[in-house]
C-alpha cells in the first residue's frame, strides 16, 4: 500500500493549462493516476487533456469529488492557490513550484494551522506510489513497487537513491519530497508516523541535508519510542562551508545553523543507520531487511 495517497485519491490540477502543468498532468494520467479536473480562473467550462476545467477549486471539488490537488502555478500565485485548496478542505495538496516568497509561505502556514489538509512542498518533486499514484514531477522509469518508504528534502537525490534501490531489488511503498524550502508543509516526523502505521512499508529511508531542523526532529521522535522498522539516513553537506548558501534556502548564518555532522550524530544516537553516500543506502537496507 502507500501513505497519504491511494486508490481513492482523485486529483485536480491548479495550473493545468500551463506548459509544465500540461506535461506533468499528461504523464501522471498515463501512469494510471486518477486525475479528474483542472482549475484555471476564467477558463471554467473548457476542457484540457480530456479533463473538465473549473474557475475555482470549490466548484471542481463539488462537481468531480476531487480530494487532492497538484499545484503547479507560477511562484507569485502559489500562496493564493494553496489557501484556496486548504479552504476547499482537500485532503492532500502537493506544490512543486520553486522560489515561492517566504512571507507568502508564512501566510500559508498560518492558514494550515486549524486545517486537516496535508501540504507537501512547495519546491517538492511530489509523492509517488510506484505503479499506482503519481502527484508531482518526478521521473518514474526506475520506480518499482515494494517495501521501502522514502522521505526526502531533495528531488535529485531521491531519483538517485530510488534508482539504486530498484537496481538492488528494493521496491518502494511511497516516496515523498517534503521540499527544499525553509517554510514547507509536512516534515520528516509526519511521514515517519505514517510509514510506521503502513503495513506494507518494512523500512524507511530519510534523505536530509544541511539547514533547517527536520533531521533533529526526526531524531527526537525516533529516540522517544520503539519505532519497529529500520530507518536508514543520508544527510548531505557534511563538508559544505558554513554560513554560505548552497542551493536551497533554509539556512540562517549567524545564529547557530546546525551542520550535517551534528544531524548525523543525533540520528545515529536515535538508532538510525547512516549511509555516507547514495550508493550505500541499498547496502544498509539489505543488511537490516534480511535479518
Partner 1 sequence: MSLTDIASKKLLSSAGIPVPEGRLAKNAQDALLACQAIGASKYAVKAQIKAGGRGLAGGITFAETPSEVQTSTSAMLDQPLVTNQTAREGEIVTTVLIEEAMDLERSWYLALLLDSHSGQPMLVASKQGGVEFEQRARMGDADIRSLLLPGDGDPDRRELESFLGALDMEVEAVAPIVHSALKAFIKEDMTLIELNPFSQTRAGNWIAIDAKVALDPSAAFRHAGREAFDEAAAPEGPEQEAQKSNINFVKLDGNLGVVVNGAGLGLATNDMIIDAGGRPANFMDIRTTATSLDIARGVDLLLKDRSVRAILINVHGGGMTVCDTIAEGVSIAYAKSERKTPCIARLAGVNAEWGNRILSERGVPVELFEEPVSAVERALTVAGR
Binding of partner 1 by 154 (CB under 8 A): yes
Q: What share of the chain is helix, strand, coil (3-state, %, to 5)?
A: 35, 20, 45
List 62, 87, 99, 168, residue binding partner 1 (CB under 8 A): 99
Binding of partner 1 by 180 (CB under 8 A): yes
- 148: part of which helix (H) or strand (E)? strand 145-152
Binding of partner 1 by 283 (CB under 8 A): no
Tell me the window of 84-92, 191-199, 262-270, 277-285 that interacts with partner 1 (CB under 8 A): 277-285
List 7, 65, 87, 106, residue binding partner 1 (CB under 8 A): 106
Query: What distance in Å separates the CA atoms of residue 122 and residue 112, rounded to the nearest whole number?
Result: 14
- 234: part of which helix (H) or strand (E)? strand 231-236
Q: Is 191:3 a contact under the CB 8 Å cutoff?
A: yes
Q: Is 150:172 a contact under the CB 8 Å cutoff?
A: yes
Which cell goes with 198? Answer: 503502513
139 burial type by CB count under 10 A (0-12 exposed, 13-18 middle, 19+ buried): middle
Q: Is 184:122 a contact under the CB 8 Å cutoff?
A: yes
List 2, 69, 152, 175, residue binding partner 1 (CB under 8 A): 152
| Closest to partner 1 by CB, 228 or 254 | 254
Binding of partner 1 by 21 (CB under 8 A): no
95 burial type by CB count under 10 A (0-12 exposed, 13-18 middle, 19+ buried): buried
Please tell me whether residue 91 adopts helix, strand or coil conformation: coil
Q: Is 142:163 a contact under the CB 8 Å cutoff?
A: yes
Number of residues that bind partner 1 (CB under 8 A): 70
Binding of partner 1 by 178 (CB under 8 A): no
Q: C-beta of 63: minimal distance to partner 1 in Å?
A: 29
List 18, 139, 145, 171, residue binding partner 1 (CB under 8 A): 139
Query: What distance in Å separates the CA atoms of residue 228 and residue 236, rounded to the nearest whole number?
Result: 25
List 7, 62, 131, 252, residue binding partner 1 (CB under 8 A): 252
For β-strands 11-14 and 203-209, DSSP reports them as unpaired
Tell me the window of 80-88, 198-206, 238-246, 262-270 that interacts with partner 1 (CB under 8 A): 238-246
DSSP assignment of 164-175, as one string? HHHHTT--EEEE
| Closest to partner 1 by CB, 58 or 77 | 77
List 26, 56, 98, 200, residue binding partner 1 (CB under 8 A): 98
Q: C-beta of 228: minimal distance to partner 1 in Å?
A: 27
| Closest to partner 1 by CB, 1 or 246 | 246
| Closest to partner 1 by CB, 84 or 160 | 160
Q: C-beta of 257: minimal distance to partner 1 in Å?
A: 9
Binding of partner 1 by 101 (CB under 8 A): yes
**Active-site positions?**
248
**Binding residues for partner 1 (CB under 8 A):** 24, 27, 75-76, 98-110, 112-113, 125, 136-139, 141-142, 152-160, 163, 180, 182-184, 207, 209-210, 212-213, 234, 236-250, 252-256, 276-279
Amino acid at each position: 500500500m502507500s501513505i497519504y495517497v491511494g486508490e481513492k485519491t482523485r486529483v485536480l490540477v491548479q495550473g493545468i493549462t500551463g506548459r509544465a502543468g500540461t506535461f506533468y498532468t499528461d504523464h501522471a494520467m498515463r501512469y494510471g493516476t486518477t486525475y479528474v479536473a483542472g482549475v484555471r480562473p476564467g477558463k471554467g467550462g473548457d476542457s484540457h487533456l480530456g479533463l473538465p476545467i473549473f474557475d475555482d477549486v470549490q466548484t471542481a471539488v463539488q462537481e468531480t469529488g476531487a480530494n487532492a490537488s497538484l499545484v503547479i502555478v507560477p511562484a507569485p500565485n502559489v500562496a493564493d492557490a494553496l489557501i484556496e485548496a486548504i479552504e476547499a478542505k482537500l485532503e492532500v495538496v502537493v506544490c512543486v513550484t520553486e522560489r515561492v516568497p517566504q512571507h507568502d509561505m508564512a501566510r500559508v502556514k498560518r492558514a494550515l494551522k486549524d486545517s486537516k489538509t496535508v501540504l507537501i512542498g512547495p519546491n517538492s518533486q511530489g509523492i509517488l506510489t510506484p505503479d499506482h499514484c503519481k502527484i508531482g514531477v518526478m521521473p518514474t522509469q526506475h520506480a518499482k513497487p515494494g517495501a521501502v518508504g522514502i522521505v526526502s528534502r531533495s528531488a535529485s537525490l531521491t531519483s538517485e537513491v530510488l534508482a539504486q534501490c530498484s537496481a538492488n531489488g528494493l521496491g518502494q511503498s511511497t516516496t515523498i519530497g517534503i521540499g527544499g524550502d525553509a517554510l514547507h508543509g509536512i516534515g520528516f516526523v509526519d511521514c515517519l508516523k505514517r510509514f510506521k502505521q503502513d503495513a506494507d512499508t518494512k523500512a524507511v529511508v530519510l534523505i536530509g541535508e544541511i539547514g533547517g531542523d527536520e533531521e533533529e526532529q526526526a531524531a527526537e521522535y525516533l529516540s522517544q519510542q520503539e519505532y519497529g522498522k529500520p530507518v536508514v539516513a543520508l544527510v548531505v553537506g557534511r563538508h559544505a562551508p558554513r554560513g554560505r548558501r548552497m542551493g536551497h534556502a533554509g539556512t540562517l548564518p549567524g545564529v547557530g545553523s546546525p551542520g550535517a555532522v551534528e544531524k548525523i550524530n543525533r540520528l545515529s544516537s536515535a538508532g538510525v543507520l547512516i549511509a555516507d553516500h547514495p550508493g550505500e543506502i541499498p547496502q544498509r537496507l539489505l543488511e537490516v531487511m534480511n535479518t
